[in-house]
């Protein structure tokens, strides 16, 4: 097994040592020794030592009531510190003898390869500059760590960077170590778990903080790199205001099943984004005004500022005053309706125009080296983020719209909309969309639910067009779902286009997606209301929960193929919006490979995807890591556009269809049809306790009921905690096992070798199986599950083993991830700290379920900390 890089190991050791000193200062060396005995016992037990396992169990069993929380906190904090060290290791300084990172070289190498394959410089430059990639930061709050702690973790990463210099003096190295010790002490003495749930506005502010502290720096840097790579390959430059990657958000706009997201909340978040954008630009313009003290300017600048001795400062002062007016207005408008003054910026052109004048003038006057500094960075941020920082999507469930329409038609004496068939609904909606008169009289009094739907539509109608993204309809299945939203928006006074986006989520809806969009595009008058591409969202989370990842992945692929064909036939551009989660069970996985595995033609210069929960921090929380991930997105979408993957062979499609059929049968036989499954799930996992973890503003359930009522996030989070990882692999064991028994092994190997879609699925499956741990899952059963349910647990662990065996047979390896020894080494190190947390959590769950629950008791707090620690160790929640 490969050893962990020596520098990473040193950083982990240093952080662990400082954490031990911090804990010892508070609780004494005896307590630190106890933690070390637990750690060594876990390590020995992992290596097969019965003595180590006994030592681990006896030490944990001997913990006093007041030691439960500190022990859980110690292992939780170590896993978070290990994450910080690993994240920094991804971006640490490279020595002269070390090869460049893949993330740095991926775009230059791609451009060079495409050029060598015959693509002209002009074609490559045009494709790159016209890419439309939008990353949507979502309101799915799987981020366990508090924002306060995240800021301390970022500061620890900065100190690791500060010490990463061989020429530091002993005094300088000592100062860095002291700062690290202080930051770790601050983190240790800060509560990990929020006392109260965050509000939707809190979630939005957390998203804005990621932009402020990381993406604001990362975006200009990745664009500089892209510009340099393009110039090296083609001799051409990116346009000044090219913004191939932009950002949108669901935070404060996603009301699907979240009663806390209301029309006033959406309005407040829109204003806060505008305030934050103005504030960020104001800081940059202040700095620029300090730097651009030059006297010489061209006629375009002089035309605005006259004979000013410092023309650039004079021009930037005007912009600064308008930014101040915009910020002041946005802040005041938070407290009541207030019309913007004449000085408030309304369009991005007003922001870009003075910056562009300065830029072109400096170049014309021989000062290009100055123009290409912070001024260019400011221009690129302005092109990317605009006046509104992120475009806010609105999402609502289709049943809420249907219910509102039903109330309205009943009030109008037309009967109940919900009782009508699809043909009747469509006919009514088209008539009303084409009718100039309002649908509702002024005196109409709606119920609370309908009033909220109408109020949301009014906020959309009144908001500036550039501040909004799409209106997404979850659980959509028919053209009437889209038309109903268009009619409600028309009734609210919307007089401009907005993309109304059906989200196809269940297996049945995915299978019918192509036909539904075909009917929609064929409706009279629909195309005249469609400005730009037809956007369609593909749901990964609920389709996987509904049918398992085998069938869901194939249904998602075929739905995209059908949509590409339908839109081509109607001569309409298509924009696919991928609702991916952070975990494999929710469509997660490495973005670069995932994009390259999409059906040919589905990524045609456009790509929209969600970035969820803790993955936002792991991928975009630090500027250098954000830059790496933006490079990966840019290169993958460019490659998928210019050089799409091959069309799958008929034999591959046929076999994939059989795999999907067997996969959904295997998955549903357990999740839907086994009479004991729901009760086993609730006993064996912390599902019920997760509802008490103040993760986010949204309830864990859509409604009362069994597994089907759970949201995809807690459904996967619960299985992740016990290491069974069931939603990510269940069904594959039957699908692959049957295929291998039929003698399809050679065809499976061919698919894995030549079909990116299938290869990516198997790679992600292998990763999740490597993280799964049947022995740990068995420990939860021993402590928590009643005797009559234990055979089901044993059966599930047997299915897990079958899945692993099938993957090894397909890949020809003797061990999962044998091709990635460094990843295996990282898992080994983490398990030493995860194992005690799993054992402790199982014990805490048992005690909690047999005692009267007290929210602030040490036992309850220790339980919640164990949940956070395991999530940190696995870097996965939902």
Question: Cβ neighbours of residue 857 under 8 Å, at least 6 residues apart?
Answer: none
Q: Which ranges of 504-649 does DSSP label H, i.e. alpha helix?
A: 507-511, 513-521, 526-529, 541-547, 549-569, 591-596, 614-620, 623-642
- Rounded CA separation 327/322 (Å): 9
Q: Are 586 and 543 in contact (CB under 8 A)?
A: no
The active-site residue, picked from 34, 43, 140, 578, is 140
Q: Are 391 and 468 in contact (CB under 8 A)?
A: yes
Residue 329, Cβ density class (10 Å: 0-12 exposed, 13-18 middle, ≥19 buried):
buried
- Adjacent-strand bridge partners of 539: 579
The active-site residue, picked from 43, 181, 490, 545, is 545
> Burial code of 765-785, b = ≥16 C-beta within 10 A, e = fewer?
bbbbbbbbbbebbbbbbebbb
- Adjacent-strand bridge partners of 503: 537
Q: Are 394 and 456 in contact (CB under 8 A)?
A: yes
CA-atom Rg of the chain in angstroms: 28
Q: Coil, helix or strand for 199?
A: coil
- 374 is written with which tokens? 């912070």
Q: Are 187 and 152 in contact (CB under 8 A)?
A: yes
- 839 is written with which tokens? 């054992």
Closest CA to 814 of 829, 802, 804, 799: 804
**Quick one: DSSP state of residue 701?**
B
Q: Are 154 and 621 in contact (CB under 8 A)?
A: yes
Q: Are 555 and 511 in contact (CB under 8 A)?
A: yes
Q: Are 222 and 333 in contact (CB under 8 A)?
A: no
Q: Please, how many CA atoms are within 13 Å of residue 422, restricted to the half-sphere of its CB?
A: 11
Cα of first residue to Cα of last residue in the chain, in angstroms, is 30
- 370 is written with which tokens? 């100055």
Q: Coil, helix or strand for 211?
A: helix
- 851 is written with which tokens? 């005692």
Q: Coil, helix or strand for 98?
A: coil
**Is 189 a residue of the active site?**
no
**Is 140 a residue of the active site?**
yes
- 713 is written with which tokens? 């996030």
Q: Which residues are catalytic?
A: 140, 545
């Amino acid at each position: 097994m490969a050893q962990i890089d020596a520098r990473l190991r040193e950083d982990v050791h240093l952080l662990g040592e400082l954490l031990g000193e911090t804990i010892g200062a508070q609780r004494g060396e005896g307590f630190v020794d106890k933690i070390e005995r637990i750690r060594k016992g876990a390590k020995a037990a992992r290596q097969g030592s019965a003595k180590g396992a006994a030592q681990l169990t006896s030490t944990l069993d001997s913990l006093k009531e007041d030691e439960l929380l500190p022990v859980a906190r110690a292992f939780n904090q170590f896993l978070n510190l290990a994450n910080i060290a690993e994240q920094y290791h991804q971006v640490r300084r490279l020595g002269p003898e070390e090869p460049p990172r893949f993330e740095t070289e991926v775009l230059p190498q791609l451009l060079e390869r495409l050029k060598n394959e015959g693509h002209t410089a002009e074609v490559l430059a045009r494709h790159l500059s016209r890419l439309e990639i939008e990353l949507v930061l979502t309101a799915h709050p799987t981020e366990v760590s508090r924002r306060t702690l995240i800021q301390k973790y970022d500061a620890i990463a900065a100190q690791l960077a500060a010490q990463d210099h061989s020429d530091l003096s002993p005094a300088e190295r000592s100062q860095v170590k002291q700062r690290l010790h202080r930051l770790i002490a601050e983190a240790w003495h800060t509560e990990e778990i929020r006392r109260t749930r965050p509000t939707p506005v809190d979630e939005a502010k957390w998203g804005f903080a990621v932009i402020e502290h990381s993406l604001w720096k990362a975006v200009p840097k990745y664009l500089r790199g892209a510009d340099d790579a393009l110039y090296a390959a083609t001799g051409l430059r990116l346009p000044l205001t090219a913004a191939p990657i932009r950002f949108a958000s669901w935070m404060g706009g996603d009301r699907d099943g979240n009663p806390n997201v209301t029309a006033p909340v959406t309005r407040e978040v829109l204003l806060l984004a505008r305030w934050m954008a103005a504030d960020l630009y104001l800081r940059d313009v202040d700095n620029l005004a300090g730097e651009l003290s030059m006297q010489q300017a061209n006629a375009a600048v002089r035309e605005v500022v006259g004979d000013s001795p410092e023309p650039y400062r004079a021009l930037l002062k005007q912009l600064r005053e308008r930014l101040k007016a915009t910020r002041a207005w946005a802040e005041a408008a938070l407290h009541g309706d207030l019309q913007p003054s004449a000085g408030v910026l309304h369009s991005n052109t007003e922001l870009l125009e003075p910056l562009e004048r300065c830029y072109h003038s400096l170049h014309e006057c021989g000062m290009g080296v100055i123009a290409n500094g912070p001024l260019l960075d400011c221009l690129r941020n302005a092109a990317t983020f605009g006046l509104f920082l992120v475009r806010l999507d609105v999402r609502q469930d289709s049943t809420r719209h249907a219910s509102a329409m039903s109330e309205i038609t009943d009030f109008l004496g037309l009967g109940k909309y919900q009782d009508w068939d699809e043909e009747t609904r469509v006919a009514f909606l088209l008539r009303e969309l084409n009718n100039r008169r309002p649908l509702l009289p002024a005196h109409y009094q709606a119920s609370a639910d309908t009033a909220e739907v109408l109020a949301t539509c009014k906020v959309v109608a009144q908001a500036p067009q550039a501040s909004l993204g799409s209106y997404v309809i979850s659980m959509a299945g028919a053209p009437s779902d889209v038309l109903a939203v268009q009619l409600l928006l028309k009734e609210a006074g919307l007089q401009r286009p907005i993309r109304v986006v059906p989200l196809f989520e269940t297996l049945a809806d995915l299978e019918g997606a192509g036909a539904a969009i075909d009917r929609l595009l064929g409706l009279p008058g629909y195309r005249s209301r469609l400005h730009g591409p037809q956007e369609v969202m593909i749901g990964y989370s609920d389709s996987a929960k509904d049918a398992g990842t085998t069938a869901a992945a194939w249904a998602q692929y075929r739905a995209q193929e059908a949509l590409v064909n339908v839109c081509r036939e109607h001569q309409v551009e298509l924009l696919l919006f991928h609702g991916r989660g952070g975990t494999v069970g929710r469509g997660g996985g490495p973005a670069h490979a995932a994009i390259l595995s999409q059906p040919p033609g589905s990524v045609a210069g456009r790509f929209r995807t969600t970035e969820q929960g803790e993955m936002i921090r792991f991928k975009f929380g630090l500027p250098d890591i954000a830059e790496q991930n933006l490079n990966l997105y840019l290169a993958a979408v460019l490659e998928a556009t210019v050089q799409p993957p091959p069309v799958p062979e008929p034999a591959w499609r046929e076999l994939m269809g059989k795999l999907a059929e067997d996969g959904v049968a295997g998955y549903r036989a357990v999740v839907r049809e086994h009479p004991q499954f729901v009760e086993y799930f609730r006993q064996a996992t912390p599902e019920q306790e997760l509802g008490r973890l103040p993760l986010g503003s949204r309830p864990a359930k859509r409604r009362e009921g069994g597994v089907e009522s759970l949201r995809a996030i807690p459904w996967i989070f619960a299985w992740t905690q016990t290491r069974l990882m069931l939603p990510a692999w269940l069904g594959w064991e039957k699908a692959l096992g049957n295929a291998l028994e039929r003698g399809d092994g050679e065809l499976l190997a061919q698919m894995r070798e030549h079909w990116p879609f299938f290869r990516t699925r198997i790679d992600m499956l292998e990763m999740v199986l490597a993280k799964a741990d049947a022995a740990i899952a068995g420990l939860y059963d021993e402590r928590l599950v009643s005797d009559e349910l234990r055979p089901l647990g044993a059966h599930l662990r047997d299915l897990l083993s079958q899945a692993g065996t099938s993957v090894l047979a397909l890949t020809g390896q003797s061990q999962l991830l044998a091709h990635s020894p460094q990843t295996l080494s990282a898992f080994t190190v983490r398990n030493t700290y995860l194992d005690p947390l799993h054992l402790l959590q199982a014990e805490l769950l048992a005690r909690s379920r047999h005692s009267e629950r007290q929210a602030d008791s040490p036992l309850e707090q220790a339980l919640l900390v164990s949940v956070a620690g395991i999530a940190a160790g696995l870097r996965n929640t939902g």
